[in-house]
Amino acid sequence: MGGVFHYSLPDDSVSHQALDTFISNVCDATGILKAEVLGHGRRREVVDLRHFLMTVAYHEFGLTVKTVGNLFGRDHSSVTHAKTKIEDIITVGALQKDPHLRLCVSVSEQEFINQFGHTFHEISKWLTPRK
């Protein structure tokens, strides 16, 4: 008789590990502790970075809002709020008025390039100026 065939659903641990590494690198580059980003601090710089990283996790890593919420210790509605807020800020051009959030975006995009060899897919569409 031949070997045993094992079937299992794809494991998200690779995606989670890549996201964890990405978050760590961005936190190191911005000088904000990862524990603060994953915690419940309400300091504006921390919240902005947390919201942007949640948006990246959803759009660029393809995770569900529930999964992103679990990873950040939040519920799905917090993730939905974060991605809506970030998309609105970027698409209306308010990013230029917020130097810290602009830094978060810049550092995150550079770390994404360093880790994966290309820029954001979805978020880059928002960053492109519209005529």
In a domain, 5, yes or no: no
In a domain, 44, yes or no: yes
Range of the domain at 86: 16-127
The number of folded domains in the chain is 1
CA 50 to chain centre: 8
Band (pLDDT 50/70/90 cuts) for residue 131 is: low
HSE (CB half, 13 Å, CA atoms) of 36?
A: 16
Tell me, what's the pLDDT at 10? 44
Tell me, what's the pLDDT at 93? 82
In a domain, 52, yes or no: yes
Is the overall model pTM greater than 0.75, yes or no? yes
Least Cα distance to 79 among 42, 53, 44, 61 occurs for: 53
CATH number of the domain bearing residue 106: 1.10.1750.10
Tell me, what's the pLDDT at 59? 94
